[in-house]
Each structure stands twice: as structure tokens, then as C-alpha cells.
Amino acid sequence: MNDTTMRAITPTSWGGPEVLTIAELARPVPGPTEILVRVHAAGVNPVDWKTRSTGGFGMHGEPPVLGYDVSGVVEAVGLGVTLYRPGDEVFGMPEFPRQAGGYAEYVTGPARHFARKPAGLTHLEAAALPLAGLTAWQALVETARLDAGQRVLIHAAAGGVGHLAVQIAAARGAYVIGTAREDKHALLTELGADEVIDYTREDFVERLGRSVDVVLDSVGGDYGPRSLRVLRDGGTLVTLPSPDDVPAAEENGAHGIRTGFTLVEPDSTGMIALAGLAEKGSLRPVVETVLPLERAAEAHRLGEAGRTRGKIVLSVLED
């Protein structure tokens, strides 16, 4: 390689993890208002393997490079950028829903799609935060307007979005209830959950009744209609998997319930808020598995198994 190329992960076709291969590609160049980031770590998210399987949405570039979440160091800045200088540590999920190309040694993106990396987080931890953290922040804080003293139910609470949502909700003073297998209860309690329900042994509807103000559903299927039955009048159900998983509010006996699908958006204000929580020690991504960039296919296999606590991260450059 030279100073005009980089290593990156690209699919040879759409399909299983085996289609992922490492290639030497041209290094991107920042355009006006963009920055070039030397990637130290790249987060792995469910949208990555969904895109790998079908091509998904937002793919661009030839060949395409997977990945959204990155943490690294500014290498160069484009025309008009004043927020950052070369050498600044940043993290972000630029371009979403267009593919950022995070599974690579270099990434370009709009300067305002990044934020300064919290000093208290490693690049591996910071790379685990943007997409899942912004999803949780935008769903709970901006959409549901979760407030202190409210009761929130977070499904798949030990997952990538869920474990961050638990911490964000706890930091806002909410009473936090999570659903997860029993072996993850201790972790969730440590992260700030007040109550954890083992969904394999107990029906959360029977346990909770109509006692919840906000539900965050990252599971889909029948979880949406069932979650309606635990919401109080005026409650909010935010659905993440698909618009098709949003149940009609009329299916519920309570009144004034809001339901809807949320798709995360790049947002520097939200990123700065997440960084602030991290700096205060109120938010820390749990990174269960770290693999080198060239083992991206293995990372996808682990993620698709659906048993990960927290996040999987690819190490691109040794800190």
C-alpha cells in the first residue's frame, strides 16, 4: 500500500458472511465541508449484515465498503471546515443511511456528522457508540420525550441499542425495566436497570399490566401488539426493526397512545449529548468482542447469532 490506497472490507456479491473480503482500494479524499478520518475502530451493527445480505439501502461506491460506526483521528480537512484540525480524535456515523464505508482504514464524511471522542473512552468503545447510541437517544429523548420519574420498558435490553438505552434512560431519572435472558440480568442491573424480566420464563404483559409510560421495541414481531397492553393512557411505543412492526394504536384498550417507527439520523447535537454522558461516566458501551478488520466475516457470524451482550467492534489500527 501507499499513501493513496487503503485496506477495506467489501462484499464480492450479496449473501452470507463468506462474501466479505479484504481489498486494497483508493483512499477517499475529503470534499468541501468534509473531513478525512484515519479509522482506529469500526462498530458492527445489525444493519451491516442486513445490507451485506441484500444490498440494502444507501450503498454507493464501486466496490462498496460496509460499515457506519467509526472512531479515529482526523487526517485532513476539506474546504470550509473549521470544527476540526488534523490530529483531533473524533467518532461518528457519517452519511447514514448511505453507507459510510467504516470497515476501512480511512473514511470521509461531513464534519458535522462527527463529534469529538470522549477522552474517557477508547477508540474501540467510541466506535461502538454512534449508531446504537443515537438510535436510543433519538427514540427515547427526542421521540418519546422520556422524563424523570417515568417508567420505560426496553426490550432486548442487553443488546447493542438496548444496553445504551438503559443507561440513557437511567441518566434521565426514569424507572428502567428491561427484558433479557437471566444470564444478562446482572449486567443490566449494573448499567442502571431497576427491574429485569426474563422473557423466556415470564410474560412481561402479565408482570407489568398497564404501568409503563414508554416502550422501546427493538425486537418486532408480536412484541409491538403485546407492548401496547402495558402502556398507560397517553403512553408511547417506539418501534425500531421495521415500519411493518408498528401496531395500530386502536388494538389497545388504553387511550391517546402514540406509536411509530424511528430511523436513526446523523446528528452532531445528539452525538455531543452522548459524549457528555460518557464524559460524566453515565454512559459506557459494553464491547463484548473485538476482532481485527480482516475478520469482519466472523464478526457478522457472531452478530447474526443474536446472543451478543453489547457490541462487536473491528480493530482497524492499534491504539
Separation of first and last alpha carbons in the chain: 20
d(CA 89, CA 243): 36
Position of cell 458492527?
A: 44
Cα 291 to Cα 269: distance, rounded to the nearest angstrom: 30
Q: What is the pLDDT, as a whole number, of residue 54? A: 84
Q: Which residue has the higher pLDDT, 309 or 152?
A: 152
Q: Does residue 136 have a pLDDT over 90?
A: yes
Beta strand 195-197 with 258-261 is unpaired
Q: Per-residue confidence at 58, pLDDT binned at 50, 70, 90?
A: low
In this predicted structure, the answer to whether residue 59 has a pLDDT above a threshold of 70 is: no
Domains of the chain with CATH codes:
5-129+285-315 (3.90.180.10), 132-261 (3.40.50.720)
**Residues 20, 9: contact at Cβ < 8 Å?**
yes
Mean pLDDT, residues 236-256: 87
Q: What is the pLDDT of residues 171-207, one digit of tens each?
A: 999 999 999 999 999 999 999 999 999 999 999 999 9
- pLDDT, the chain, mean: 94
